[in-house]
Amino acid sequence: MRYIKLGRTGLDISPLVLGCMTYGVPDRGNHAWTLDEEQSRPFIRKALDLGINFFDTANAYSDGTSEEIVGRALKDFAKRDEVVIATKTFFHWRKGPNGGGLSRKAIFHSVDDSLARLGTDYIDLLQIHRYDQTTPIEETLEALHDVVKAGKVRYLGASSMYAWQFAQMVYTSRMHGWTKFVSMQDHYNLLQREEEREMIPFCIDEHIAVLPWSPLARGRLTRDWDEGSDRQKSDVFGGTLYNATEDSDRAIVAAVKKVADARGVPRAQVALSWVAHRDGVTAPIVGASKPQHLDDAVAAIDLELTEEETAALEEAYTPRAIAGFE
């Protein structure tokens, strides 16, 4: 595994991130398809064996049980200073007032709760899961700066929002001398390329790392369009992300199959290779619920598509509404 830098920082990361939303107690939260702790641990261990050192979770995943499972596994299988643990805050992680959002109170409490669940003294990358429409950004940004200065967080990142909102936060932090954002985790794949218009160019200009989530479009790019999965049947949020441009999406899925068949590789490798090698992309976030998922992800990093293959994959794309910001 070769390692790269996270944006303009000196932090060494693998060019793949293991997304840990898949791991959590199944009856907690709204992810009925998650794997329990016994099922999850082999995937975390295999990721480490393959050289992946970057693990991404969130305080809201499976009511916080994802953080607990990931924290215990990494403590058992790795040295703390050799892994990069990322988590997120914004969505409600507990009931009642101030149990979510990006107020100063919520950020301080959520960080302490995440540290306890992860079983660690610090979070490598704390990301705001969404933009908070109800809290002044100065309050949010100063609180984020303070948890860094308190030694509880090493770096700051953000996730899906409009580019103008992220730019506002980036420049407000700079104006006040507060800790900078070093990464953006956004929704980007062959079926959703709207981030190419503003967000990715902005991140390139600011040397901010881009960490795409759902690079395989919730698995839709890895199988025939009419073929579902157990996760797809129960994935409420995933059902809001696609199907708006079905004819275009069907053609893109068919193009992935054609390129993969010609190459003699799984479709997942082709679709992930496309994302991983796009301008501005630092490290895609991949989920793994079957052993081959991690093998395909690592193989995709070394799979270089030709210009003709890339053109074939992109040809059917049509503009669409953004999805995943809420």
CA-based nearest residue to 71, from 37, 30, 102: 37
Contact 112, 87 (CB under 8 A): no
Residue 269, amino acid: Q
How do strand 17-19 and strand 285-286 relate by DSSP bridges?
parallel
For tokens 């479709």, what's the residue? 267
* Residue 233, C-beta contacts closer than 8 angstroms, at least 6 positions apart: none
Residue 304, amino acid: E
User: Which residue among 23, 61, 155, 317 is the active-site one?
Assistant: 61
Q: Tell me the sheet residues that pair with 126.
A: 87, 156
Residue 47 DSSP class = H
Q: What is the rounded CA–CA span in Å between residue 194 and residue 228?
A: 25
Q: Tell me the sheet residues that pair with 88.
A: 127
How do strand 153-159 and strand 4-5 relate by DSSP bridges?
unpaired
Question: In residues, how long is the chain?
Answer: 326
Confirm whether 61 is a catalytic residue.
yes
Q: What is the rounded CA–CA span in Å between residue 107 and residue 64?
A: 15
Q: Annotated active-site positions, please?
A: 61
